[in-house]
Structures are given as C-alpha cells and as structure tokens.
Chain A
Amino acid sequence: MSSEPTTKKPGLGGALDALMGIPGVLAGMVATDEGLPLAARLRTELDEEALAAAAAVLGQLGTRALKDTGRGDLEAVVLDASKFRFVVQPVALGYLMVVTEPLAEADPVLGEMTNAAAYLDEAGSALAEPRAA
C-alpha cells in the first residue's frame, strides 16, 4: 500500500480519477447505501446503475457476514469472478467500488482505495458533486 495519497483533485470524481490510473482498473464508483450512484468513472460499457446496486449489495453482504461472525467492522470485500474483480470499501457516503480485470493486482488497488476512502471520508458532505457524467 502506498502511504502518499494520489487523490489530489477535489470532489468524488477526483478520487475516482486516481483509481482509474491503476493498471487493470475498468471502473470506479461511489454509491449510496441504497445503491444509488453518486459518481462513476467507467472505462468500458459497464452499466452504472447495476454497478452501484452491486456495490451496495456487496457492502451489505460483507457487513452482515462480519456481524454474524462478530469479527469487527467491514474494511473491504473483494469478489473475484471469472470476468471481473470487484473491490468494495465502505465510506461515509456509502460504498466505494472498483472493478478491475480479473487478473489485475489486488494490493495496489486496495492501497489506493484506502487512500481514496480516507479522502472521501474527510471531505464528507463538502463534496458537492452529486453525480458525474
């Protein structure tokens, strides 16, 4: 994990732009707890609404699994599928999700997501970019 956040530009989109710079990343997304997209950067023909819903569902599934095991609060869920890898982290606004190619390295993505999540949490409600194109 890198110690220096690379998220420099303000706004949700700025946080996602930094994630999109990582090799193998196909999409970045911030979604609410209800699965509504707040901001998205999509490199391919991925469906924004479906991704946002998936981010919320995965976050909720991870949270529930940890609650049932009594082993702390959710930090991340990584789902490796044959076509994509989904990485979800909870943030104050809801969930941050990155979709990568299936064989992309996980650690750089997780590291940068931790930076982006910290940035998003810090910026909080001051981030006035409700939706990105």
Chain B
Amino acid sequence: MQDVEAIASGREEVEAYRRLLARDPNSLRFAEYADRLRRFGQLEEALAICQRGLARHPAYSTGRVVMGEILIDSGKAQEAEAEWRRALQLDPRHPRAHFRLGEIYLTRGETDHAIAAFETALLHSPEFPEARAKLAELKGPSPTLRIGEPKPLEDRLRTPGERPEWLTSDRFGDLVQRVSACPSVEAAALVDSSGSPVSGELPEMAGATTGEAPMSFLVEARALLSRLGAGRLRSALICSNTLSLRCVPLGDLALLAALRSRSPVGEADEQIEECIAGGESSEGNEAEADE
C-alpha cells in the first residue's frame, strides 16, 4: 500500500497497483486499479480487473460504481446503469453512484431526475465539485430550501454549537429526572457527542445502552438542514413499531427520551420542552436569589 501512495501519478502508479494486487489479490483496491486503467483507456484490462475484484467482493459498492464507469466508457450504457443501481442498493448514500445516474438521466433528457440525482449526491457529499457544477449548469438560483454553496468550516453543522449556559454538569441529573418523570416518557438520558450517557439510562438498544446511533442521526440531520438552508435543528423524532425516540440537541450533548407507546407526539414534545424551559428558568431564579 505504501508504494502506491509514494508514487505520484501516471503509469508508475498503475504498475504499483498491479504489484499490490499481485501481492494481495483480496485487496479492495482493485477498484482504484481498475479506475486508473480506465482513465488510461485500457478498458479491457480494467474490465477484467474489476470483474475479478467483484467476484471476490460482490457487495463492494465502489467496485460496482467503477464497473459502471468502465461499462459506460465501453459504450454499454444500460449495463452501466444497472451497476450503478446495484451500487445504490448496496449503499443508498453512495454519492458517485447518484452522480453517475444523474448523467444517465441527462443523456435521456430527463432533466428533473438528473437534478434530483445531483442534489442527492451533494447531500451525501457536500464537497462534490462535479455534482455542484452540473447543478449550476441545470438550475438557476432558487430563493429558498435548495442546496446551498459550501459554508466556511466553522459554520458547518457538524459543529454542534454551544451548550446552553444553564446546563452545567450539576444540572444533568435534574434535567434527566424531570424528563423521565413526564407522563409520555418511558426513559431518558443525556448523552455526550459519542453517544455515551452522562446521566440517565436509555432503553436497551441492540444489546447496548448507548446513544451512538441517535447521535450519529443528529449530526447527519444537522448537516442536511444546513444544506437545505432550513435553519437550526431543534429536535428529531425517530419512530419504529417498538420505539419512539425524541432527540433534542443541547450543544455538544443531546437529550434522548424514549416515549411511551402511542403517546401523542405533541403532548410529549410539550412536556419535554417544559422540562428544558424549567432548567432555563431555574437558572434565572437562582440568579435572582443570588442578587
């Protein structure tokens, strides 16, 4: 692997990949190798490498995307499209697969579908210059709720924002206790950015009691809202047939509340909001008492 990265570009790079694959035929880097060959116009060899790699790793979505690119360069648009669709079945978020499908739609004159595909690619990969360029070509400026220009790093919503001033560590337990006592709430916890509870307990999820998956959801949802220009994320609710989980971001922390089965969403929201507002106002009361 090191020898591949050490070589800047060109045919030496292709040769480095060849050696790498010879040493480790199971390597997933067959896709990069095939892609380099494709770019050099060695389509037959690229096809053979990609076919061999996919025979070993049929569920490798990037391999499917590269295979589609080799096929489209070989004039096999239908087969290429099938590979990209298969890549999306394996990984619905694969930006390059969305982008390539967008190009297919364009060749068919299906501009609306192409725009949707490019936008989806951008939602999953905000730094995707080709997708952004295609969109700029296809769409004029639209006033609201559209994919925006990349924002400076500090504005990205992957940065969680400030924790409320009143939410000091000595108040964690109090907040969780109040939320847990709400009639609509079964259990509540305050979790940190890694999803580990800093107070309270969550219902068992996949054998663990961490909030990693909900926290990951919040991070992605924040990024999505940022791209849409839809404002700040206030809270999220994820419902399944066995769980309704209210997630409220509080700076670098998040309050997670498992709602009781069939609790009206509006009522639960009001109860949780009152608890959070109670924390804010108790800070105000204490400040007044200090005065």
A residues in contact (CB < 8 Å) with B: 31, 33-37, 44-54, 56-58, 60-62, 64-66, 68-84, 86, 102, 105-107, 110, 131
Contact = CB atoms under 8 A, between A and B. Distances in A.
Contacts of B116: 31, 34-37, 49, 52-53
A84 B230 contact: yes
A79 B233 contact: yes
A-B complex: 6 closest residue pairs judged by Cβ atoms: A82-B231, A72-B240, A70-B206, A69-B205, A68-B213, A83-B231
Contacts of A64: 213, 217
B120 A34 contact: yes
Interface stretch (B65-73, B158-166, B261-269): B261-269
Interface of B: 88, 92-93, 98, 101, 112-113, 115-117, 119-120, 123-124, 139, 142-147, 205-207, 212-214, 216-217, 220-221, 224-225, 228-243, 264-266, 269
A65 B216 CA distance: 8
Given A56-B120, A82-B232, A77 B239 contact: yes
Query: Helix, strand, loop or mixed for chain A's interface?
Result: mixed
Given A76-B239, A80-B234, A71 B205 contact: yes
A81 B236 CA distance: 9
Contacts of B112: 36-37, 48-49, 131
B92 A56 contact: yes
Contacts of A81: 225, 230-234
Nearest to A37: B116
B230 A83 contact: yes
Contact of A45 (B101, B120, B144): B144
Contact of A65 (B120, B139, B207, B213): B213
A60 B235 CA distance: 18
B269 A106 contact: yes
Given A50-B147, A68-B212, A79-B225, 10 more contacts: A36-B116, A36-B117, A49-B116, A57-B124, A58-B221, A65-B213, A66-B240, A84-B230, A107-B266, A110-B265
